[in-house]
Structures are given as C-alpha cells and as structure tokens.
Amino acid sequence: MSRPEPRILQFCHGYDGPFLDCARQYAALFAGTQYKVTTVYLTGAPSAEVEAGSASDEVIFLNYSSREVRGLKLKAIRDIRRIAASGDFKLCIAHRFKPVYVALLGTRLPVIGVHHAFGDYRRLSRRLFANAFKRRLALLGVSNAVRDDMRESLPDWPAPRIETLYNRIDIQALQAELLDREAARDALGLPRDAWVVGNVGRLHPDKDQATLIRGFAQALPQLPAGSLLGIMGSGRLEASLKGLARELNVAGSVLFLGQVPAGRRFFRAFDVFALSSDHEPFGMVLLEAMVAGVPVVASDCGGGREVVEGVGVLFPLADTAALAAALRHMAGLDDEQRELCASRMLQRVETHFSDRAVREAFWLLDTTILR
C-alpha cells in the first residue's frame, strides 16, 4: 500500500481584498516539493475564480458568515478537525488570529500564524492563548514592523519563533496585466499630457490622504502646469477629503477615481505613486507601483520603509512640507533618471519581494517546523 501524500493545511479567514493573493503566495512556497496544499476559507461562498487563484491542490469553502464565526466558533473548530483528519497533514499555516485560534483548538498540528496587521497580541486574552499553545505555534509577520510588534507583545518568546516573511508579488503575472500609459489614462479618464500623482487605498484615517492632499496643494505651484492628484479608492472619508481639497483651492486638481476593479493594472497612468499612510503594516501597493516602474514616495511608517528604502523617497509621518518637497523632487526627474529608478525598483522587488526570493527565505526559517 502506498503512503499518503504529505499535505499542508492553509487556513484563511476569507479571500476578500488582498487575502486571495496571500493564499496564492503561501501555496507557492510548496511548489515543486513533496507537499500538497489544501487551502480552506472560513468565510466566503464557493468560487471557481477563487479556487483557480489559490494555486492550491485542493480548495475548501466553509462558507460561514462573519456572524457565524463570532464567539467560540465551535462548529468551525469541528470542521477544521474533520479536514485535518482526512489526510496526512504535517503543518497548518493560518492567516490572522481567528484561523490561528480555530486551528490550534481543532487540530494537533504545528501551526504557523501569519499576521498582516499591528496589535494582534496586545490583548491579554490573546497573549494568554498564544502562550498556552507556545510549543506548537510559530508566528510570522509580513514585515519587520509587524514582527517587532508581536515580539513586544510576547517578550518571553524566543526570537526565532516570531519572524518575518515578507509579502511578495508575482512579477511576471503583474507585468502581463499592466496597461500601457495611454490606455491606463484613457480608462481612468485622465488627460494624456498631465503630470499625475497617484494614490490607491481606502479613504480611511489609516491611509491619511488628508496629508497627501495638503502636500500636493503645497507643491502644486512648483509642479508642471496642469498637474493632478488621482486617488483611487472609496470609503467613509470621501466627503471630508473633497471638502479639504475645496478648502485648499485644489478641488479641480484632485480627482477621486472611486473603487477601480483590479486597480493595479492601471498604475502606469501615474508619473509618481505616493503613499501617505500613518498605519501601514507592509504596503502591497508600493510593490505594485515598483513593478510598474512608477517612482514611489512613502511615509516613513511601519513596513513601508522596508519596501522602498534605497529606491524611493521617504518622508516623516504626516510631514506635509517634506511630502511637498518629495513631489517637487519627483517632478524634476528626467527620462534617464526615471529609467534608472525603475531598474533599481524592479531589482529590489526581485531580490526581496518576489516569489522566488521569499520561497528561499521560508525554507531557511526555523519557524517552518518541517525539519
């Protein structure tokens, strides 16, 4: 009788927003190895598109609503126990705290908890829970900033049990999706001859587009004539941000582009990409801009510094004057400088944030628990 195939259980809260690609990223770690990957989504209806995008050997949709997984989540715990018993699973990779909780209670597997945000272990109840399962739990942050936040919350844990594994990007797949400058501008309704600052993100306090609008308004008199700021995204701050643009007399130069499906396809519409977040665990949009060859400006905040340091311009958090100076600097780049910048950015992505680079880093981590 042949031995069953060794398997990896990947457990995700859902596939909304960036989390489908997160599932793909972690399934890709095991491509070409002896392990098969089963990806389980706690919430979200079955979808052929999601199944294909998960890059896994098997995809299971538990199809819970957010309300159903509140509280003790006993049914979800039973479900994950049943799935874990169905094959020769060696390890569970769980994204975010709730799947970590369910996986530890529902299985006896070693669990790698992947954390995409700050503060996941600041609550006493979560620290106690993590400490109770310390022998078979390892933690990964998507940036050193997230890793250090967890290490601060769990000071008694040995450092190798809380490590960094960067988010990454499929460079070739994104490059194949990108529209050229003219087509992207036409699709977004941007004039072809304007100098355009781009921003992508929820209109939310964490993204701090207010600082971006203020910095753009301050720089505008020294920017090329007809310069524009295009903000791609939606959210509860839209009305107040539009009011701020009117107050600063730049409403005609600040375009709110709304929620754009597959927005990363349009990044070449921008002459510079600016991220002004005051709370950024990583900054996936920075990688997307870098692959598109768009020079980047980012607040020196959280994981953003780790992405663009050495190839982009960083400015102090909420420093309007420094942001304005960065935009003026970017407007002064000539074609040769932009090409050099694009080359350096792509090299940095390939070296640190590509599937290949992060796969190599993963297999060097003690936290894999696969030795």
CA 213/CA 177 separation, integer angstroms: 29
DSSP label at residue 269? G
pLDDT score at 70: 74
Burial of residue 119 (CB within 10 Å: 0-12, 13-18, 19+) is middle
Question: What share of residues in the chain are helix, strand, coil (percent, to 5)?
Answer: 45, 20, 35
Residues 190, 270 contacting (CB under 8 angstroms): no
Three-class DSSP category at 169: strand
Q: Tell me: the pLDDT tens digits for 69-100?
A: 777 678 999 999 999 999 999 999 999 999 99
Q: Which of 173, 110, 171, 168 has its CA nearest to residue 143? A: 168
pTM score, two decimals?
Answer: 0.90
- Residue pair 209/237 in contact by the 8 Å Cβ criterion: yes
pLDDT value of residue 301:
84
Those residues with Cβ within 8 angstroms of residue 153's Cβ, 6 or more apart along the chain or in another chain: 120, 121, 122, 127
Close Cβ partners of 257 (under 8 Å, ≥ 6 residues apart): 188, 189, 230, 231, 232, 233
Q: Give whole-number Cα distances, 56 to 4, 53, 316, 319, in Å.
A: 17, 8, 41, 43
Low-confidence ranges of the chain (pLDDT < 50): 1
Distance CA 166, CA 168 (A): 6
Please name which of 352, 360, 292 lies closest in space to residue 142, comparing C-alpha atoms.
352
